[in-house]
């Protein structure tokens, strides 16, 4: 059975096709909703197809569920093959899937950040978070690059964070530097490095790559302790997907840009 349901072949649509990983809830689901509203065919990615179907039923028109586990090579390749069969190309890839920790869900955000400090971080937890946020992101990108090359003009949007900025966190006056750790923060710094490496490699092609921060959104990632709604936080991600941000900026912030 297909892991992408109710879709149709590329020759029957001129709409741009976007894939969003981890889009069954929270920020990813909101971005899917926004892009669908801009006329995209949106593939709502989730590890479990049932969860993607539920999200699609809530979002509605122009969205289709697809099973993709970014930590599973077979799942990634199956999804890429299905998109190739159904559409023959991909216009936008939003690497949204991510986790902030791999420990108890009962911990507060403060406890999660403290447990990720370099002196005490659990290496197994660090591996688990990086497996999704870093290695999974690159694995998905590699698998879908051939389809992105087939689009007239394609975009890769990697979800990042202000916590990833080495420049900001190196500044003693930066108020949030205490939250920089090796589990989540350094993982997003690695995402930025991958973004830059991809941008350099692809700069002469049809594919534009951008690391985009949503801001401090209240989602399950931070036990809903964020200060912005998912509607507010989705704006920069959507701008990046639409190509509306400053083309000279590779690491975008909700209000402009972040330094590396």
Please state the rounded mean pLDDT for residues 18-35: 96
Residue 243 in any domain: the answer is yes
pLDDT digits (tens, 9 = 90+) for 100-136: 998 777 788 888 889 999 999 999 999 999 999 999 9
Q: What whole-number distance in Å separates Cα of residue 127 and Cα of residue 130?
A: 5
Residue 15 in any domain: the answer is yes
pLDDT digits (tens, 9 = 90+) for 44-75: 999 999 999 999 999 999 999 999 999 999 99
**pLDDT value of position 98:** 95
* Percent share of the chain, pLDDT over 90: 81
Bridge partner residues of 92 (DSSP): 18, 155
Bridge partner residues of 53 (DSSP): none
**How far is CA 135 from each of CA 64, 86, 111, 142, 222, rounded to the nearest angstrom?**
25, 26, 25, 11, 21
Taken in order 110, 115, 117, 119, the sign of the CA dihedral is positive
Q: Coil, strand, or helix at residue 181? A: coil
- The number of folded domains in the chain is 1
Residue 195 in any domain: the answer is yes
Name the residues annotated as catalytic.
184, 188
- Indicate if the pLDDT at residue 170 is higher than 70: yes
Which pTM was predicted?
A: 0.92
CA angle (178 as vertex; 102, 192 as ends), nearest 5: 65
- Indicate if the pLDDT at residue 11 is higher than 70: no
Residue 90 in any domain: the answer is yes
Residue written as token pair 């002469």: 204
Residue 5 in any domain: the answer is no
Neighbouring residues of 104: CB distance < 8 A, sequence distance ≥ 6: none
Domain that holds residue 155: 10-257
Please state the rounded mean pLDDT for residues 244-252: 95
Residue 1 in any domain: the answer is no
Residue 4 in any domain: the answer is no
Neighbouring CB atoms inside 10 A of 255's CB total 9
**Which candidate, 40, 154, 207, places its Cα nearest to that of 32?**
40
CATH of the domain at 20: 3.40.50.720
Residue 170 in any domain: the answer is yes
């Amino acid at each position: 059975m297909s892991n992408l349901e109710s879709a149709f072949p590329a020759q029957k649509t001129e709409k741009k096709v976007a894939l969003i990983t981890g889009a069954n809830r929270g920020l990813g689901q909101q971005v899917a909703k926004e892009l669908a509203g801009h006329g995209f065919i949106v593939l709502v990615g989730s590890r479990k197809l049932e969860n993607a179907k539920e999200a699609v039923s809530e979002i509605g028109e122009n969205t289709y569920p697809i099973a993709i586990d970014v930590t599973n090579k077979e799942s990634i390749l199956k999804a890429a093959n299905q998109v190739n069969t159904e559409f023959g190309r991909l216009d936008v890839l939003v690497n949204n899937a991510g986790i902030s920790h791999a420990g108890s869900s009962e911990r507060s955000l403060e406890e999660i950040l403290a447990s990720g400090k370099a002196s005490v971080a659990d290496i197994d937890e660090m591996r688990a978070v990086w497996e999704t946020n870093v290695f999974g992101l690159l694995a998905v990108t590699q698998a879908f690059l051939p389809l992105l090359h087939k689009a007239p003009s394609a975009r890769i949007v990697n979800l990042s964070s202000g916590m990833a900025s080495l420049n900001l966190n190196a500044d003693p006056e930066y108020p949030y530097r205490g939250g920089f750790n090796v589990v989540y923060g350094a993982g997003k710094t690695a995402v930025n490095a991958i973004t830059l490496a991809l941008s350099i490699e692809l700069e002469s092609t049809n594919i534009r790559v951008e690391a985009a921060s949503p801001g401090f959104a209240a989602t399950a990632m931070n036990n809903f302790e964020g200060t912005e709604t998912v509607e507010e936080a989705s704006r920069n991600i959507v701008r990046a997907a639409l190509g509306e941000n400053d083309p000279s900026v590779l690491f975008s912030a909700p209000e402009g840009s972040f330094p590396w």
